Amino acid sequence: MIRAWFFVVCLCTSDALIARQFTTVTDQLVHPWSMALVGDQQALVTERRGKLWRVDLSGNTRPVEIIGLPAIYASGQGGLFDVLPAHDFASSKRLFLSYAAGSASANATTLASARLQGNQLRDVTVLFQVSPMKSGAYHFGGRLAQLDDGTLLLTTGDGYHLMQQSQELDNHLGKLIRIHPDGSVPDDNPFVKRSDALPEIYSYGHRNPQGLTVSADGRIFLHEHGPKGGDEVNLIEPGLNYGWPAITYGVDYSGAEISPHQSLPGMQQPLLHWTPSIAPSGLCYQQQALFVGALKARKLLELSLEAGNIVAQQEIALPINERIRDVRCSPSGGLYILTDSPSGALYNLSPEG
């Protein structure tokens, strides 16, 4: 049975109070990571453990498992990450998946395409894999987006113990990657003509980005986990250096200094940073606002935008106290929210009526 709450929240940049309905779509998920809307009242939901589900957004039927996934390294923070329908999904049924592949001693964030036929994936093809592989099960990134020109964006983490690699262009760690849907490299990527750089790199100096969205006018927004403090929201421009770990507003988890610098020449400042950390995860754009989920802070935030800058932030009150892993904007003006726990749930925050 669907559980629903009716309450008043502020969900707009004008600060007007609007009645919203908060509905449980399903509470039968295990550490869900991401979701995508596919067709009328249907969604695909990933679980980090390596499961993909078709979910009826009306809540009238149980989730159905999609089979045929590639081999996934599910350990620690590693596993199945994002699912992204292609722009032409309605006709092609093509999906893109990001996930950790490999083993504890050698693993990498990977991007693959597949065709959804019924409840099975067909023609699974690896398009891109982070190089070099790393050991350990931390900091994979893994968020996906598709630009209007059809190219794909993928966030990659710094591998935690390999943080200095984020500043180097001879590897894919701590980067934003841009490729064509067939895996080839766009000619206008910023480093394609440099022999000392990998051509897939679009921006660099990132730590562990778990939020990525493209606005209606094509701006790319990315947020990333800081260490102890220094979570960031960045406006991405091709070829720019976003600083990690040379500059940061955070410190190591032990309290030790990572860098004495919060700014340096040639390195971009974030639009916004959170100290102490909120552990942001999930990001979507709607009506001149960004919506951000928070794992540690257990919050849903609205960031108001003007001319590409964040001018205000506010918490959206929710009748739950759970780690929010993903937030997705719906065409109706509402939000879908995924919570990260062994009994994770998908919620719908929609206008009343």
Handedness of CA 173, 174, 175, 176 (dihedral sign): positive
Catalytic-role residue among 31, 139, 206, 273: 139
Is residue 167 a contact partner of residue 139, using CB atoms and an 8 Å limit? no
Output the six-digit token pair for 175: 């980067």
Residue reference for tokens 């008043």: 8
Q: Is the previous residue joined to 132 through a cis bond, with omega within 30 degrees of 0? A: yes
Unique residue bearing structure tokens 């009645």: 19
Q: How many CA atoms lie within 13 A of 9 on its CB side?
A: 23
Got the DSSP string for 162-216? TGGGGG-SSS-TTEEEEE-TTSPPPTTSTTTT-TTS-TTEEEE--SEEEEEEE-T
Integer Cα distance of 255 and 208 in angstroms: 19
Side-chain-side CA neighbours of 236 within 13 Å: the count stands at 31
Q: Can you read off the two tokens belonging to residue 77?
A: 């923070």
Dihedral pair phi/psi, residue 34, rounded to 5°: -155, 165
Q: Is 206 tagged catalytic?
A: no
In terms of phi and psi (left: phi > 0; alpha: psi -120 to 50; beta: otherwise), the region of 164 is alpha
**Of the candidates 157, 170, 167, the residue with the CA atom closest to the CA atom of residue 245:** 167
Kindly list the catalytic residues.
139
